[in-house]
Amino acid sequence: MSSQGSSKRYNVAVVGATGNVGREILNILEERNFPVNEIFLLASSRSAGTTMNFAGRELVVRDLAEFDFSGVQIGLFSPGAKVSSQYAPKAAAAGCVVVDNTSFFRMDPEVPLVVPEVNPQAIAQYTNKGIIANPNCSTIQMVVALKPLHDAATIRRVVVSTYQAVSGAGKEAMDELFEQTRAVYATTLRVPPKKFPKEIAFNLIPQIDVFLENGYTKEEMKMVNETKKILDPAIRLTATTVRVPVFNGHSE
């Protein structure tokens, strides 16, 4: 590690490095010239041993299950909620500050749920468990827009509809949109849905994740609960989340 101040550099672990989000994390670290000393790419044993490029270097992906976090200062996690639930506390116990992109820790009262433009002061609570949670993608872009309005006038109620790209459901979902679209244009055969309840090509599906007992989907309730935690528990919010046949870019 180098000296104090702006020249300080960090050992960073990217967990779930081979997934869509992991790859994007690496792109952003490189694009922003983040002060990385050493970077460790971690994934499941299936991906261990493969190589990825970062900042002009070829790096070998390591097995998360065998990795020692004791020499890492920052862990950027996006391996899925089940994996984060197991390995984020282990990393934090080893002294690594975890920023978790999955849903697992978001509603934990001891874990700060942070959008830097909205509630940066909440980051200080990371000392509780060594973990900072990252909200749902649609919640993030909404609360950034709502924050100045709430400061100016105090929002009482929000009605929001989201139109979310298939990238939010992962690489297999993006492949499904591609294959279905190609089939519509190029063949008489249709590609049956696997990732979605209906064909997504040239279609809108007003369901993201499973339906809950209250009639809302899990995705819709994430927006309700996370907004209350980040912005104001008194805000009343209703959400309708729709999957649209677009590769990247959510709107609402």
State how far the Cα of 66 lies from the Cα of 54, in Å rounded to an integer.
22
137 flagged as catalytic: yes
Torsion of CA 65, 71, 73, 77, to 10 degrees: -10
From 137, 177, 200, 231, the catalytic residue:
137
State how far the Cα of 27 lies from the Cα of 13, in Å rounded to an integer.
14
250 flagged as catalytic: yes
The length of the chain in residues reads 252
Query: Which positions are annotated as active-site residues?
Result: 137, 250
